[in-house]
Amino acid sequence: MTVVNEYLLIPPDWGNSFIYRRKWQTSIQSAINGIEKRSALLTWPRRTLSYYLSTQNYSSSNLLKRKLYKNLHNVWGIPFWQDKTKLTSQALSGSAILNVQSTQNRNFEVGGSCLLYGSENLYEVKIISSFTNTEILLSSNLAITWPIRTEVYPILKGRLKTDIGLDMNTSVLAEMQIEAMEEYDDTVTRQIGDVSGFSFYKGYPLFDLEPSWGKVSQTFIHPYNWNFYLGKGITLSYFNETDFGLKMDHVIKEKSNIQKYLDFFDGQKGRWGGFWIPSWQFDIKITEPFLATAFQLAIEPMDFPGYWLNTNAGAHLIIFWPDGSYACDGIIDASSMLLTLDEEIGKACLASEISHLLVCFLYFARFTQDEIQVEYATDELAKTSLSFQTQFSATLAGVS
């Protein structure tokens, strides 16, 4: 069991960035044709907190200095400030049960610590024996009676950077930025997200969370050698076709939605897993209504056979309806004005809906990052930036 030497209980300055990270680690061996062998090196994600805090009085400033001086190099206990819940009933001294608003979508873990928080100088830390959505069972009894609406936080056991700057705004008041990375603790039952809340297409999960527009970029990736000597040159590429890089920002409201991003990232173990992602761009324009049993779609001319037919990039599409529903399908043949699908659409489109459909290419991809960063404005409002790369050069078993 990892022992905490010191607690850092000054709340964050929410006017500055408050950042939560989850980090996986992937080993990637890549052939010259883009085919990859990926290995997941971690069995659970390492967590990091980074934020600003400021002291409000002489006592708080000097207590902070004493703690940093003595224990900077040791293990610290720091609340996951974004994961606050509150007592829904009084927690009596001698009791081991906490009735709380919710433990869902928060970093509570069996074997981990939770903090009942009154102030920087009034708190109690206990080990979690088990918990449900609204109840936490502690491994030992409370020493203090805590009133209803007392704040309860899960605790990060982590280490601070080896040097920390303390900015004195006056001779009394100070502010600083802290960054704490999780310390290993083998007594904790890790809470790791998965993709169970997402739809699947051809055996792989579909990342169907729409980005914030204005913050979407796409790059084209096709390595090649250009060889020439005093005359005409030639190009040589081992890639079967051009891959895409995608980068998208997401502004997220509500803790449950924030958790969906974290769960999906956990489910892929960062760069390790493969999944489907829409381009989120208006790639194809449908010109006629269709039935749910339709196998063909009439489209506006776009020379589909000349550019996209028989490629991985143009092999799959996703159609979004105005009500938020969607359907995925594979494209097996095309003329200039007609797409033929590998199975029926499954949802009809009325004439009145055609102009409101978003029809995108559906790409098979992986993350290009092993760490997800969530920047909180409040505990219910956050943003994150995610980057992806398609895997067209690889052999996509089971998804063609």
The answer to whether the beta carbons of residues 264 and 198 sit under 8 Å apart is yes
Domain ranges of the chain: 6-182, 200-390
Query: What is the full per-residue pLDDT of the chain (400 aa) written as tens digits?
Result: 889 999 999 999 999 999 999 999 999 998 888 889 999 999 999 999 999 999 989 999 999 999 999 999 999 999 999 999 999 999 999 999 999 999 999 999 999 999 999 999 999 999 999 999 999 999 999 999 999 999 999 999 999 999 999 998 899 999 999 999 999 998 999 999 999 999 999 999 999 999 998 778 999 999 888 877 666 778 888 888 999 999 999 999 999 999 999 999 999 999 999 999 999 999 999 999 999 999 999 999 999 999 999 999 999 999 999 999 999 999 999 999 999 999 999 999 999 999 999 999 999 999 999 999 999 999 999 999 999 999 987 655 445 5
Return the pLDDT at 381.
Answer: 96
Q: Which residues, 6+ apart, have CB-to-CB distance to 107 below 8 Å?
A: 47, 80, 83, 154, 156, 191
Q: How does DSSP classify residue 9?
A: -
76-79 and 6-7 beta bridge pairing? parallel
Contacts of 161-165 with CB under 8 Å at 24 or more apart are 162/72, 162/73, 164/68, 164/72
Tokens of 229: 């000597």
Return the pLDDT at 396.
Answer: 55
Return the pLDDT at 236.
Answer: 85
How far, in Å, CA of 156 to CA of 108, rounded? 10
Residue type (1 letter), 208: D
Dihedral over alpha carbons 351, 352, 358, 364 (to 10 degrees): -40
Residue type (1 letter), 309: L
Give bridge partners of residue 205 from the DSSP assignment.
200
How far, in Å, CA of 291 to CA of 344, rounded? 9
Q: Which residues, 6+ apart, have CB-to-CB distance to 209 below 8 Å?
A: 250, 260, 261, 264
Q: State the residue for tokens 């000097």.
A: 62
The pTM score is 0.94
Return the pLDDT at 376.
Answer: 97
Q: What are the two backbone dihedrals, phi and then psi, of residue 84, each rounded to the nearest 5 degrees?
A: -60, 140
Closest CA to 219 of 247, 248, 241, 238: 247
How far, in Å, CA of 374 to CA of 100, rounded? 25
Interval 121-130: pLDDT, tens: 999 999 999 9
Q: What is the 3-state secondary structure (H, E, C) of 155-224?
A: EEEEEECCCCCCEECCCCCEEEEEEEEECCCCCCCCCCCCCCCCCEECCEEECCCCCCCCCEEEEEECCC
Residue type (1 letter), 8: L
The answer to whether the beta carbons of residues 334 and 305 sit under 8 Å apart is yes
How far, in Å, CA of 203 to CA of 223, rounded? 29
Return the pLDDT at 395.
Answer: 54
Q: State the residue for tokens 């659409």.
A: 345
Interval 213-258: pLDDT, tens: 877 899 999 988 887 766 677 888 888 899 999 999 999 999 999 9
Q: State the residue for tokens 């009735």.
A: 99
Q: What are the two backbone dihedrals, phi and then psi, of residue 57, each rounded to the nearest 5 degrees?
A: -160, 175
How far, in Å, CA of 252 to CA of 95, rounded? 37
